[in-house]
């Protein structure tokens, strides 16, 4: 890994008032490898990011990693250390402009095996990498506030670099002149085959809840998050599924990533961890009710959620776990809970949400911060390691992307990741969905099964629309 010379972010701004992130993606990326990152959150929602032409792809498989198709032994290195080395190739520490540049993709749940000794006997029936990151240094940023498109290119800060950037800007502008057919195919022509098929029956899941409760009663854990997976055959275009999902379930984290051999489309409500400058943020979400059919029913359900002792106890425990995870990589006395147990509404469910912040220690990196927090307690349980051991025992398949992270590591030193929930994995004309529920001693097995079904409701609506 050779560190580049002084690099610069070149930008060109054009008016984008007749475009949307979806139309820009369709024109600029189309069916090629690339991504679209959006948000329907007031704080995060100003910018959407569209990128194609990754110049590097880095994947993790157990004790090997794959660099642009070549398998290489890790030889004791952690994957995140390898990623960090490639991020350092492009030093942009003082860059403050909005741009596309860095590693974008997934850090799967199973990456935790690099840090914890867990059983590894469950089959992987989807076949995605443990982690899959694409490196970009060009793309289009959609500024919703000013209705502008910001073309961004990273090149060397010399005359030749500027000329290269200008050529790419012209190519970007030309692609936006393309005409589009934006129609969504009628359902009868899309080839949805049959219904959802679960990897576990309702009865088996309920028995697993009881087994988990036995561990809780015996004092092994306070909580375990058990999940189940569904799959459905489809010939529908993966980006069309994303378009429907972003309509049926607008969320703080909306993403579509086409890796070429598979795609993911998600509408996650939950941050895993964000680092901006030296500030660390994580946002535990625990406690769920379905949405009401009217504002009044919403109010009643929200009040019931806040007053539910089981849900409150679970939420407090997971906030404490988040504080502990952030505390490992934060300066002493810098960790605080800045929002606690607020009810937040989403399209199909409502959740209890808190926000934990800390100030990063000088010796820590974004990658050590991520490793400290992954997987979130809301997707594993507490204590975390023992909960993950029980998950390995009771679940049938490797989790893969589910419960891990989707996001980016920028060349300028920032990181933003969400938890891979409310996410479709599309591969070989099959779409995979997964959801979990936090099991405690007070859990009612049938209710926990229904909570999983409620959580995939938005995904099912998108599939069936």
Give pLDDT tens digits for 169-219: 999 999 998 877 666 665 544 445 558 899 999 999 999 999 999 999 999
CATH number at residue 377: 3.60.120.10
Single out the catalytic residue among 248, 365, 378, 417.
378
Flag whether 190 is in a domain: no
C-alpha span between 143 and 11 (Å, rounded): 13
Whole-angstrom Cα distance, residue 404 to residue 326? 17
- Please name the residues in contact with 429: beta carbons below 8 A apart, sequence gap of 6 or more: 233, 234, 235
Q: b or e along 354-390 (b: 16 or more beta carbons within 10 Å of the residue's beta carbon)?
A: bbbbbbbbeebbbbbbbbbbbbbbbbbbbebebbbbb
Q: Is residue 185 part of a domain?
A: no
- Per the annotation, the verdict on 351 as an active-site residue is yes
Helix (H) or strand (E) holding 47: strand 47-52
Nearest residue to 37 (alpha-carbon basis) of 256, 298, 288:
256
Task: Average pLDDT across each block of 10 residues of the chain; the chain has 465 residues. List them in order.
Answer: 72 92 95 93 79 96 93 92 90 69 96 88 93 96 92 91 95 88 58 74 97 97 95 92 91 95 95 92 88 91 90 88 93 94 84 94 92 92 94 96 95 92 96 94 93 88 82
- Looking at the domain assignment, is residue 61 inside a domain? yes
In angstroms, the CA 373 to CA 329 distance is 10
Q: Report the candidate in 338, 334, 323 with the shortest Cα–Cα distance to residue 278.
A: 334
**What is the C-alpha separation between 286 and 297, in angstroms, rounded?**
20
Q: How many CB atoms lie within 10 A of CB 253?
A: 27
Q: Give yes or no: 402 in active site.
A: yes
Compute φ and ψ for 176, nearest 5 degrees.
-75, -5
CA 434 – CA 453 distance, rounded (Å): 9
Q: Which two tokens stand for residue 74?
A: 């890790």
Check if 422 is active-site.
yes
Task: Out of 402, 408, 411, 432, pick the active-site residue.
Answer: 402
Cα-based angle 201, 203, 205 (whole degrees, multiple of 5): 70
Predicted local distance difference test score (pLDDT) of residue 189: 45
Q: What is the pLDDT of residue 191?
A: 44
Burial degree of 275 (CB within 10 A; 0-12, 13-18, 19+) = buried
Domain total in the chain:
1
CA distances from 88 to 1, 82, 379 (A): 9, 10, 31
Distance CA 296, CA 224 (A): 33
Residues 101 and 411 sit within 8 Å (Cβ to Cβ): yes
Residue range(s) defining the domain that contains residue 110: 7-176+197-464
What DSSP string runs through 309-333? Answer: HHHHHHHHHHHHHHHHHHHTTB-TT
Catalytic residue among 246, 289, 351, 399: 351
Q: How far apart are CA 336 and CA 414, in angstroms?
A: 20
Q: What is the DSSP letter of 109?
A: G
Interacting residues of 278 by C-beta distance below 8 A, sequence separation 6+: 359, 360
Structure token pair of residue 438: 């936090």
Catalytic residue of the set 101, 161, 436, 438: 438
Q: What 3-state class would DSSP assign to 152?
A: strand
Task: Report the DSSP beta bridge partners of residue 459.
Answer: none
CA within 13 Å, CB half, 155:
18
Of 162, 152, 28, 169, residue with least CA distance to 97:
152
Residue 286's pLDDT is 84
- pLDDT at 183 (0 to 100): 67
Q: Is residue 271 part of a domain?
A: yes
Nearest CA among 424, 409, 428, 426 for reference residue 133: 409
The yes-or-no answer on residue 386 being catalytic is no
Token reading at 362: 């000088």
Q: Are 403 and 388 in contact (CB under 8 A)?
A: no
Catalytic-role residue among 289, 403, 422, 440: 422
* Residue 112 C-beta-side C-alpha neighbours within 13 Å: 31
How high is the pLDDT of residue 107?
97
Q: Determine, yes or no, domain membership for 184.
A: no
24: three-class secondary structure by DSSP: helix
- Angle separating helix axes 21-28 and 238-248, nearest 10 degrees: 170
- Asked if residue 192 is part of any domain, the answer here is no
Cβ burial 332-349 (10 Å sphere, 16+ → b, else e): eebbeeeeebebeebbbb
**DSSP H or E stretch at residue 389:** helix 384-394
Measured in whole angstroms, the distance separating CA 30 from the mean position of its chain's CA atoms is 22
Q: What are phi and psi of 394, to 5 degrees?
A: -95, -30
Q: Is 412 part of the annotated catalytic residue set?
A: no
pLDDT of residue 43: 62
Q: What is the pTM of this model?
A: 0.91
């Amino acid at each position: 890994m050779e560190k580049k010379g002084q690099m610069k972010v070149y930008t060109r701004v054009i008016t984008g008032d007749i475009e949307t992130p979806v139309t820009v993606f369709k024109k600029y990326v189309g069916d090629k490898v690339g991504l679209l990152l959006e948000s329907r959150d007031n704080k995060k929602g100003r910018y959407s990011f569209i990128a194609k032409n990754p110049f590097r792809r880095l994947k993790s498989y157990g004790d090997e990693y794959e660099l642009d198709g070549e398998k290489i032994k890790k030889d004791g290195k952690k994957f995140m250390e390898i990623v960090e080395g490639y991020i350092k190739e492009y030093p942009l520490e003082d860059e403050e402009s909005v741009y596309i540049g860095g590693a974008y993709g997934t850090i799967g749940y199973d990456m935790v095996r690099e840090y914890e000794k867990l059983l590894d006997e469950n089959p992987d029936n989807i076949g995605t990498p443990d982690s899959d990151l694409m490196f970009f240094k060009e793309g289009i940023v959609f500024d919703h506030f000013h209705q502008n498109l910001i073309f961004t290119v990273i090149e060397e800060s010399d005359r030749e670099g500027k000329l290269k950037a200008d050529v790419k800007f012209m190519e970007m502008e030309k692609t936006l002149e393309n005409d589009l057919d934006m129609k969504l195919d009628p359902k009868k022509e899309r080839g949805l085959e049959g219904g959802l098929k679960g990897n576990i029956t309702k009865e088996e899941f309920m028995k697993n809840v009881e087994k988990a409760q036995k561990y809780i009663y015996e004092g092994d854990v306070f909580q375990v998050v058990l999940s189940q997976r569904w799959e459905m055959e489809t010939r529908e275009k993966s980006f069309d599924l994303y378009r429907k999902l972003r309509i049926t379930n607008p969320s703080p984290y909306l993403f579509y990533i086409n890796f070429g051999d598979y795609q993911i489309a998600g509408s996650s409500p939950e941050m895993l961890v964000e680092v901006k400058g030296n500030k660390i943020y994580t946002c535990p979400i625990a406690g769920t009710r379905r949405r009401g059919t009217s504002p009044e029913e919403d109010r009643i359900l929200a009040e019931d959620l806040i007053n539910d002792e089981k849900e409150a106890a679970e939420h407090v425990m997971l906030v404490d776990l988040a504080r502990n995870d952030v505390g490992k990589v934060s300066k002493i006395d810098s960790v605080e809970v800045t929002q606690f147990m607020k009810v937040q509404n989403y399209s199909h469910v409502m959740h209890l949400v808190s926000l934990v912040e800390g100030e990063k220690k000088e010796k820590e990196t974004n990658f050590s911060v991520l490793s400290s927090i992954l997987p979130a307690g809301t997707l594993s349980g507490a204590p975390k390691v023992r909960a993950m051991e029980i998950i390995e025992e009771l679940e049938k398949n490797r989790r893969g992307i589910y419960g891990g992270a989707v996001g980016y590591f920028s060349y300028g030193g920032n990181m933003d990741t969400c938890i891979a929930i409310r996410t479709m994995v599309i591969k070989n004309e099959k779409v995979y969905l997964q959801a979990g529920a936090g099991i405690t001693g007070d859990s009612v097995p049938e209710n926990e099964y229904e909570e999983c079904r409620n959580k995939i409701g938005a995904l099912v609506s998108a599939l069936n629309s």
